[in-house]
Amino acid sequence: MSYVVNRGPRPVAEATRERVLAAMEELNYRPNASARALKLARTYVLGLMMTDITNPYYSEFARIFQDLAYEAGYAVMIANTAHDGAKEIAELKSLLAREVDGIAAYGVREEETLELLASSGVRTVSMDWHLTRDGMPSVVIDDYRATRLAIEHLQGHHHQRIGLIGGTGDRTARQQAWRDAMGPILGRDLEGLAEWGEFSRDGGYHATMRLLDRPDRPSAMFVSSDVQAFGALRAAQVLRLNVPRDVAIVSFDGTVASAYTSPPLTTIQVPYEQVARQCLRKLTDPRDSFEMHTTLDHYLEVRSSCGCNPEP
Amino acid sequence: MSYVVNRGPRPVAEATRERVLAAMEELNYRPNASARALKLARTYVLGLMMTDITNPYYSEFARIFQDLAYEAGYAVMIANTAHDGAKEIAELKSLLAREVDGIAAYGVREEETLELLASSGVRTVSMDWHLTRDGMPSVVIDDYRATRLAIEHLQGHHHQRIGLIGGTGDRTARQQAWRDAMGPILGRDLEGLAEWGEFSRDGGYHATMRLLDRPDRPSAMFVSSDVQAFGALRAAQVLRLNVPRDVAIVSFDGTVASAYTSPPLTTIQVPYEQVARQCLRKLTDPRDSFEMHTTLDHYLEVRSSCGCNPEP
DNA sequence: TTGTAGGCGTTATCAG
DNA sequence: CTGATAACGCCTACAA
């Protein structure tokens, strides 16, 4: 009987209860989630969309999100959008077809994705810089201020020419912050000190190669993500440039992987667990009284790539 | 009508077909996966169990597996077993309760997990060293031979004292291969040259610290996984030991991350995509005529940490 | 306090 | 070739 397995909504006599339990055991009964989902119109499954789970930033987030979701009784389905609009839309449809109860999305770029999300009515949270125009709830840190903080730290090390490794796509806050910080100092040199690449090791590697392999190279760079910084470090080594002596680096994410590079990266620390926790709350909490946009605190994790800790 | 959306199992007149299509459009019809799953007893969802998706080896596998599964019409649910028996069992139950059509499992260690898997009747594939005793299908590479290959390469660089960074738990093939290779050479010193740690950066870091921070340290080490090697590289740097000059390293996995370390790692390359493809086949192909255990080919990806390429 | 029956959205079978 | 209908397994309202 349903009442005993679900402890309600109405009481059951102890004797009957035991009898039912015994029968369940006997018949090796397993509740059928599909039937339950059909009846309740809830699947207890959440979708997690990311550009690429291979990026430590996303895999570390996925780990925490899955743990927390599990504790709350939810399973999580993953979707890789692969920096590709068509794939993004297709994967979203797949999630929607499975009737997930909510979707946490990193890096949506397609207009159609936003429309699909809105028209489907699933609860959604974006972890990217506020998608205000669409009224989609979000949980983020202040990318603009974080980037300014990173650049100011580099300036504290007396760097004048600070380059940018930016991400392809529209992480506008980060590149805008760099522009605002360096524009007044670099003037006409500004555009020459920015290079762009995918959010991947390879993207960071090639962008850094272009930025550093020339005489007027910057003495420091702000790299938009840890994963790009891994590629940047490799590029510096190939060019026989010492980090931080020849080029100082500050990056963005605060992955645990960034603590194990040579040298360890100074990086903007995103509060993963809090982000995950807030996402989950917005996706699953029945009370609907949340703020639309939540901005969490970040800080600068100071290690060696900026020049602070010359020892290994 | 069902026949038009599923193109079968019986023909439909063109006129009716159009009429149905129009109605679907009109009512903004979306098929309900739960109802479909209930009726068909198939969910088109696969479960992927891993100890820790934060490990690049697993996240890179997950990426490919999810891509391939998606193309075949399946969604994938992830489960982190977290090197923890109780969590492993609990996560498995969660997957089972959702009635996934198949489970791909990395690093199952609990007897109860195996029993649950067997009694539930879900199709299962293990990617760990053949779990022969339980008759569970598997897709693996020959860990033993791969490890011997790695060690022989180090011996080719004239190393006599080759240490081991092993994984906690029972990756028996790898440590056994090291024992067999080094036992005759090291004799009584053998046990002193092995250290153990979790399959994580931190695990590799601490194990390496213990192994290298002493006068009789080995001149080379075989590290059981790339992720541990990342920690090992960091440890070497803290100890002011140059890799490969002071310690040569060969590791195991062939993650793309391993190409971006300083120095880049020489590592056993696992054929990710083929492994994923075979897993998927065993989990979803209706014809049941597959070999129980599939062993795929590996090779040694030679980069710099072994001493082969002195240039950066 | 307990048994029963109807319906959630599909698919497949059966009669037309 | 088409329209109606039963059944999948669960939850809950209603009757006993």
Q: Write out pLDDT tens, residues B27-55.
A: 777 788 899 999 988 999 999 999 999 99
Flag whether B161 is in a domain: yes
Say if residue B126 is in the same domain as residue B148. Answer: no
Question: Tokens for B200?
Answer: 């994580």
- Going along A129-263, which residue ranges are E strands? 138-141, 162-167, 194-197, 220-223, 248-253
Flag whether B303 is in a domain: no
Taken in order B177, B182, B187, B192, the sign of the CA dihedral is negative
Q: Mean pLDDT, chain B, as a whole number?
A: 90
Distance CA B301, CA B312 (A): 16
Predicted confidence at residue B58, as pLDDT, reads 97
Region of A115 on the Ramachandran plot (φ > 0 left; ψ -120 to 50 alpha; else beta) = alpha
Q: A210 lies in which domain range?
A: 143-271
Distance CA B132, CA B134 (A): 5
**Average confidence (pLDDT) over B139-156:** 96
What count of Cα atoms within 13 Å lies in the side-chain half-sphere of residue B257?
30
In one-letter notation, the amino acid at residue A224 is S
Say if residue B290 is in the same domain as residue B253. Answer: no
Residue of B nearest to A77 (CA): B77
Predicted confidence at residue A171, as pLDDT, reads 62
Distance CA B137, CA B123 (A): 9
Compare A77 and B16 and report the one with higher pLDDT.
A77
- pLDDT at residue B93 is higher than 60: yes
Predicted confidence at residue B134, as pLDDT, reads 65
DSSP string, A229-253: HHHHHHHHHHTT--TTTTSEEEEEE
Flag whether A308 is in a domain: no
In one-letter notation, the amino acid at residue B101 is D
Say if residue B128 is in the same domain as residue B277. Answer: yes
- pLDDT at residue B253 is higher than 90: yes
- The total domain count for chain B is 2
Distances (CA, A) of B16 to A244, B2, B4, B8, B21: 71, 12, 9, 14, 9
Flag whether B307 is in a domain: no
CATH code for position B64:
3.40.50.2300
Which residues, including other chains, have CB under 8 Å from residue A212's CB and lie 6 or more apart?
A218, A235, A236, A239, A241, A247
Question: Tokens for B249?
Answer: 């390293």
Predicted confidence at residue A200, as pLDDT, reads 95
Tokens 């760099």 belong to which residue? Answer: A178
Using only C-alpha atoms, what is the Rg of chain B?
24
Q: Helix axis angle, B56-71 relative to B226-238, nearest 10°?
A: 150
Say if residue A80 is in the same domain as residue A165. Answer: no
Say if residue A26 is in the same domain as residue A90. Answer: yes
Say if residue A105 is in the same domain as residue A178. Answer: no
- pLDDT at residue B243 is higher than 80: yes
Say if residues A109 and A169 touch (Cβ distance below 8 Å).
yes
Neighbours of B130 (CB within 10 A): 19
User: Across the 312 residues of chain A, what is the mean pLDDT of every consecutive 10-residue run?
Assistant: 58 70 75 89 95 96 97 95 90 93 90 88 87 78 96 97 88 89 92 94 97 93 98 97 97 97 97 97 81 93 94 64
In which band, very low, low, confident or very high, does the pLDDT at B289 lie, cut at 50, 70 and 90?
low
Predicted confidence at residue A170, as pLDDT, reads 58
Say if residue B188 is in the same domain as residue B252. Answer: yes
Residues of chain B neighbouring A256 (CB-CB closer than 8 A): 54, 201
Residues of chain B neighbouring A229 (CB-CB closer than 8 A): none
Say if residue A65 is in the same domain as residue A148. Answer: no
Residue of A nearest to B76 (CA): A77
Q: Do B63 and A77 touch (CB under 8 A)?
A: no
In which band, very low, low, confident or very high, does the pLDDT at B234 lie, cut at 50, 70 and 90?
very high
Predicted confidence at residue B311, as pLDDT, reads 66
Predicted confidence at residue B285, as pLDDT, reads 86
Residues of chain A neighbouring B70 (CB-CB closer than 8 A): 79, 90-91, 94
Compare B19 and A252 and report the one with higher pLDDT.
A252
Region of A267 on the Ramachandran plot (φ > 0 left; ψ -120 to 50 alpha; else beta) = beta
Flag whether A79 is in a domain: yes
3-class secondary-structure state, position A45 = strand
Predicted confidence at residue A30, as pLDDT, reads 79
Say if residue A252 is in the same domain as residue A153. Answer: yes
Q: Do A59 and B53 touch (CB under 8 A)?
A: yes
Q: What is the dihedral of CA B263, B268, B269, B275, to 10 degrees?
A: -140
Q: State pTM to two decimals.
A: 0.94
Calculate the angstrom distance between C1' of C8 and CA of B82. Answer: 37
Say if residue A22 is in the same domain as residue A129. Answer: yes
Residues of chain B above pLDDT 90, percent? 69
B305: closest CA among B269, B263, B253?
Answer: B263
Predicted confidence at residue B76, as pLDDT, reads 97
pLDDT tens digits, B197-210: 999 999 999 999 99
In which band, very low, low, confident or very high, does the pLDDT at B171 lie, cut at 50, 70 and 90?
low
**Average confidence (pLDDT) over B265-274:** 98
In which band, very low, low, confident or very high, does the pLDDT at B312 lie, cut at 50, 70 and 90?
low
- pLDDT at residue B178 is higher than 70: yes
- pLDDT at residue B3 is higher than 70: no
Interchain CB contacts (distance < 8 Å): A and B: 143
Flag whether A12 is in a domain: no
Flag whether B301 is in a domain: no
Of the candidates B59, B98, B256, which has its C-beta nearest A75's C-beta? Answer: B98
Flag whether B199 is in a domain: yes
Predicted confidence at residue A285, as pLDDT, reads 86
Say if residue A238 is in the same domain as residue A286. Answer: no
Predicted confidence at residue B6, as pLDDT, reads 60
In which band, very low, low, confident or very high, does the pLDDT at B292 lie, cut at 50, 70 and 90?
confident
Say if residue B175 is in the same domain as residue B267. Answer: yes
**Average confidence (pLDDT) over B230-252:** 97
- pLDDT at residue B1 is higher than 60: no
Residues comprising chain A, all counted: 312
CB within 7 A of strand D (chain A, 22-51): 29-32, 35-36, 38-40
